[in-house]
Amino acid sequence: MNMLRERRHRKRVQVKQKKTPMKILRCWEDEGDEKGDIATVSQAGYEHWRESRNGTLGGAKQNKAIRTSWWHPFLWPAIDAAMRKADWSSADALKILQRKRPEFYGHLNRGTIWKWKERGERAWSAKTCRILRSGMHSWVRADLVPLPNIRRLSRHQEQFECSTNVRIHGECSYCPFNHAWNHPVEDSPCTHSPILLLRILHSRFFQSVMNWSPRAGTRAAAHLPPDADELCEHAFFRLVYCMKWENIPPKLVINGDQQGIYVLPTSSKTFHTKADRQVDIVAKDEKRAFTLFVASTASGDILPFQLIWGGKTSGSLPSKSAPGMDEALERGFHFTVAASETSPRSHFSTLKTMKEWIKEVIWPYVRSVIETDPDLDDNQKAILYIDIYPVHTSKPFRAFVFDDFPNLILIFVPGNTTGKFQPADVGLQCPIKHKLKTALFEWMVLVHSEKLAAGAKPEEIKMSTSLPVLRDASVAGLVKTYDFMQGPDGCDLIKKAWAKSTAKQYNLSAECLNSKQSQAALNHYLKPDTTLHDEIQARCGRVLGIDDGTAIESNPDFNSDIHDDRDVPFSEVVAETFQERPADGNGVLSTEDGLVSGAEGENLWAYNDNGNLWTGEGNLPEEDN
């Protein structure tokens, strides 16, 4: 035993001689021969404070730190762990500390530790806990404690976690600090203590160095692209081109979009007795829903709704005896199931439901418009203006429309611009959803009122959460909502939604789509815009109004008296650009509108068909024999 004690003593002496406290605490910085004692290291950051003291009225001047700050994050965690291991005996804890780290705690007194604990209790005193909660001391500043390698290691790990969308939590984020301190895992503060000190240091390091703050997780919404106006203008002229050259009236320009509807509308708040700590809300987390497909036209018409429910059979649809079912079928509502291959409970649109929507809703409406309008024939074409939902842009769906409904022209809303240039999103979805939600609440009130009238007590009334019951209850509200949209107020709402879909100076109202100004602007837009020109040419073989020699309507606002600079030589334009030509050189005049030829225009009437000048001034031309 004496040999073992002597061996441990010699080992401690060797360690103390080879490594100073400064080298041990700052070994990651490769300080080399830098010397320092434990007090100086624990008071790092107060050099400026000591230098500012002048020794007289400014306080006693100190050349170096005298007192050791045992609150330092490299010192306090081991003290806390030693006290717990020694069953809160300050003398035994001091022995553990000095035996394990004599270079750190060689001059620590057991009385100092005793002052920090609660008298007669196995815990720290209230004052000590208050100091810990308040930030432990003024030294806990992330700009003083984390040194270069700590910052570098922390930045690498945290940036990796952010770039890979990994949730950053304390235990994972402490690793850079443990490595930077160069402590063994079993000696790290994370192992021995509740990590209170390290968490304070860690959070302040994030705020001051990394410029981070605790944030709730969010999912970024789709933002408008920077060239949204140009993309929407491109789509606008697609519509104008088809309407002009295919003679498509506004009532056959159809826009459709889906929206999810909860079978039981709820809220996260309710009225309840004050001061109650527990407030229960029925079906607060209700997620069962169906998809409502809404379609409208530029003339203000609303098409019958399509309702898509999750499931694969007709048993997932509202029953035939549901209130309002007969009225819904009379108005042309289409009830179907998604029959999703990936998720049996999914109610989102699939290729199956899109084909049914075209057959059961869109094309019957198109045929009814053709039959009631004598100016339209059986080959009349229509436009379906929809967003780039993956099912809409899929090759099977586009091939289905092209093969089975060749008179239906698909035009897609530019990506991420539905909130700007799709009428359904701009002004229809929110009012329709609100109207339907109100109808469902009225149904619930009516059901509860009937139960109360029958003699039921209020505490006996329970809100039904059965899916078949709620599924049947949604039909009457849909009929009521559809009737409102068919009325004059609903028609005005639809027209306003189309007019609010704007792109630069254009919008999707029927007046703007059919205006002479839009058609004239189309001709001028097709010339410089090779993208739209080439797309039309690849699809139709030619671009009407430009490639077939058809006369182009002039813009009524176009001034025919404006000068034409096409006969100005290119060299004169270059000279004018660099200000190297006279005010009137080579017959070219410089005006406010630019360069213009100053020569007298050629008189074409002075020549006959053979290219010879007529003889005699003022005489009418005479044909040669």
Q: What is the mean pLDDT of residues 191-199?
A: 44
Rounded-to-integer distance, Cα 221 and Cα 457, Å:
47
Show Cβ contacts of residue 199 under 8 Å, excluding neighbours closer than 6 positions.
170
What integer pLDDT is reported at residue 341 of this predicted model?
85
246-260, 440-454, 506-520, 578-592: segment of lowest average pLDDT: 578-592
Strand runs (DSSP E) across 209-348, as ranges? Answer: 253-262, 289-297, 306-309, 334-337
State the Cα–Cα distance between residues 240 and 387, nearest whole angstrom. 18
Measured CA to CA, the distance from residue 622 to residue 610 in angstroms comes to 12
Residue 502's alpha-carbon distances to 223, 419, 521, in angstroms, are: 17, 10, 16
For residue 590, give the H/E element and its range.
strand 588-591
Domains of the chain listed by start with CATH number: 148-210 (no CATH), 228-266+285-511 (3.30.420), 559-613 (no CATH)
* Sign of the dihedral through C-alpha 403, 406, 255, 529: positive
Collect all residues with Cβ–Cβ distance below 8 Å to 568 and sequence separation of at least 6: 588, 595, 596, 597
pLDDT at 555: 40
pLDDT at 211: 61
CA distance 263 to 466: 10
For residue 179, what pLDDT is reported?
41
pLDDT-wise least confident of 34-43, 46-55, 248-257, 563-572: 563-572
pLDDT at 173: 45
pLDDT of residue 87 exceeding 50: yes
pLDDT tens for 470-497 read: 899 999 999 999 999 999 999 999 999 9
- Look at 115-124, 227-236, 576-585 and tell me which has the smallest mean pLDDT: 576-585
What pLDDT, on the 0 to 100 scale, is given for residue 481?
92
Q: Report whether pLDDT(95) > 80.
A: yes
Range with lowest mean pLDDT among 236-245, 300-309, 346-355, 611-620: 611-620
pLDDT at residue 44 greater than cutoff 70: no
Q: How much is the average pLDDT of 547-568?
A: 46
Q: pLDDT-based confidence at 465, cuts 50/70/90?
A: confident
Q: Are 239 and 522 in contact (CB under 8 A)?
A: no
| pLDDT at 213 (0 to 100) | 66
Q: Lowest-pLDDT range, 184-193, 327-336, 398-407, 532-541?
A: 184-193
pLDDT of residue 395: 95
Between 449-458, 583-592, 615-624, the lowest mean confidence (pLDDT) is in 615-624
Across the range 101-112, mean pLDDT stands at 85
Confidence of residue 400 (pLDDT cuts 50, 70, 90): very high
- Write down the pLDDT at residue 30: 38
Judge whether residue 330 has pLDDT over 70: yes
- Asked if 107 and 67 count as a contact pair (C-beta separation under 8 A), the reply is no
Following DSSP, what letter does each residue of 394-435 receive, concatenated? SHHHHHHHHHH-TTEEEEEPPTT-HHHH-HIIIIIHHHHHHH
Q: What is the pLDDT of residue 556?
A: 41
For position 611, what pLDDT does the model report? 58
User: What does the alpha-carbon distance between residue 195 and residue 202 come to, in Å, rounded to a whole number?
Assistant: 10
DSSP letter (8 states) at residue 602: P
Residue 185: pLDDT band with limits 50, 70, 90: very low
Tell me which DSSP letter residue 206 carries.
Answer: I
Q: How confident is the model at residue 35 (pLDDT cuts 50, 70, 90)?
A: very low
Please give the structure tokens belonging to residue 118.
């609660």
- Output the pLDDT for position 356: 96
The pLDDT tens digits for 4-30 are 999 888 887 776 555 555 454 544 333
User: Cβ neighbours of residue 44 under 8 Å, at least 6 residues apart?
Assistant: 139, 144, 145
**Is the Cβ–Cβ distance between 588 and 597 less than 8 Å?**
yes
Residue 349 has pLDDT above 60, yes or no: yes
Classify residue 288 by burial, with Cβ atoms within 10 Å: 0-12, 13-18, 19+: middle
Question: Residue 595 pairs with which residues in a beta bridge?
Answer: 590
565 band by pLDDT with thresholds 50, 70 and 90 = low
Q: Alpha carbon 535 to chain centroid distance?
A: 31
Task: Tell me the mean pLDDT in the region 243-263.
Answer: 93
The model's confidence at residue 467, banded by pLDDT at 50, 70 and 90, is confident
Model pLDDT, residue 197: 47
Q: What is the pLDDT of residue 63?
A: 67
The rounded percent of the chain whose pLDDT value lies above 90 is 35
pLDDT at 105: 86
For the cut 50, the answer to whether the pLDDT of residue 578 exceeds it is no
For residues 464 and 443, give the distance between their C-alpha atoms in angstroms, rounded to a whole number.
12
Q: Which segments of 515-604 does DSSP mark as H helices, in order? A: 516-526, 530-540, 570-577
Average pLDDT, the chain: 76
pTM: 0.57
